[in-house]
Structure 1
């Protein structure tokens, strides 16, 4: 019998109280999914999910009776979120699929654990654990696959993908995070064959998967494989062989310069250095305004060297680091350096006899440009630069 190792989250007092309220009889609630998988792998657990035989209204009533607040986050799909001090817990009623269309599923509630497990995507995600005894339940060989670092669809890969085409992107994300080579041949054949079905997916879901894939320590080999199998062109047709190589180089540079992985910077590496293309991709995937600006800024990079501190002053530290790393330049000039403020205001220029208006702004910009070019000298030098500019302006 396999047991889930004890972890900090399995001993949480409020989580155990939730289990007592939800499952006093001992067979109606089990931990499932990522928390079980990641604990078995010995890595940090981010989210806790519980599967239960009780339907949502029963879950709400039982937890209310125990003084535990809930939010009906997805009643149509059987999901209720319990609000605990130590972290929220999603509780979902056992389900079976009635029909699917490649994007959404019509479900019916169930009381059979194996039936619920059978509708999940990969064997390593269909592991359940008793919250009290920590016994692990595995119907599809997930434990063996986890040990072998093997990402495998439950049952027929084509059927699983046709139920939800997003599983193609999930397959590659899990392959990059947990898998090892050689990959599952059947899965690769299925994703290559069915990749065009991703065209009907919501842009937000596609973006979420891509961003999470690019957040992993080294997604470059997986992204290259996605390109080889014709998957990448279905969601990012702008990416070519240069972009794949640029991503690999960027990951190596991040490692050498001890910079944390950043998915938007890596996104920029994949795309051609054309601001309009980057902006169009960001809009299509409905990325945030801040992410769109970063992509466009990174796409405006130049081939030659750029001054690190001047970049940081003009663009901000984050965008400067993007441009430097993408260009293969060191970011060490920014270590411990605080971006300065120009020690000059428009009012001082007016006080020197310049009338209010565009001429003040022009002089201020001219002084600023020389100040940046000289490496941000002190206030005395700024006043010398102002004197020179005023003389030049007559």
Structure 2
């Protein structure tokens, strides 16, 4: 254990002691819905998150540092070259068609998009490193162990401004193992440096690259029905935004295509989407934000003062505040209710003709996001599976790996991906 982490934990010995004693005496605020190990983790996480804020650049660096791939994990890193302007043009048409007149946003640049292929590596020593071969050879070796045709397009969480595919290898390799397939984990651009809709643009480029690989790609074309969008927290919100982008393109055009690396690629719907504790209301205004605080480590929103929304405050650095001032990291305040940002406030009719969607909820601050969204889907006849795990914290399958609830969540999450691609 690193000295800095040990020092931080020693400062929290009184907190750890209090949580443990209350749990033993059956006096825990969670009412026995969490085991003591989960309670300790939630309280320790909460104490770190609720301490005085750090600069955006610092926490981005700390949460995105590269490290060697985990044992029994195939990782092949790739870069998707910048495509033609038609990709951006189609996205802007979608954004504009869904926005109110006074909504504003920054037009992003098209850029190269990085990502990594992740698969499960069986029958090796848990301590065995990846072989010292090219990324192309790693990909070939990974594909030899793939037993299912499903490709999970994974978008990581982190409130749209934190984390990275490397932070999620534990999750993506477990999804790959449980599905028998592979994950393509996207390094989308983060706010505040790249606000809405830059992340959606990167996700769209990644999807197009699966459908129609650019020159030099490691993979063969993937049929749309074999692709399932997946993500947790903000990555869940981004997955839903990407799916709505595709649905809207298909509404705007009779036989939609996008010019991508010299080819007109038909825009087909994926096999489905599967999201974990999705972040679908950036305003954080739903009741579960405060009502579920005892079970969760995410901070509660700042109180509304005289009817005025109070955004989270961050110490200034080279990234925040932005040169063009705004109150939210991810988007302009006027655009908080855009359907690609706030799916819970979007007209339910937008979800007609949607492919199947899995929504996994915890009893966390984002519970209402998932439940309200699932209700909208059901009301228009969109196929939806919604599961709720009582008493569980945010993104439980990624943090409390020992829990029976987390294992159940992962099993159902992966099982849905397989069923969705099989039709």
Question: What TM-score range do you get, normalising by the shorter chain?
Answer: under 0.3
More helix by share: 1
Structure with the larger RCO, 1 or 2 (CA within 8 Å, 6+ apart): 2
Larger Rg: 1
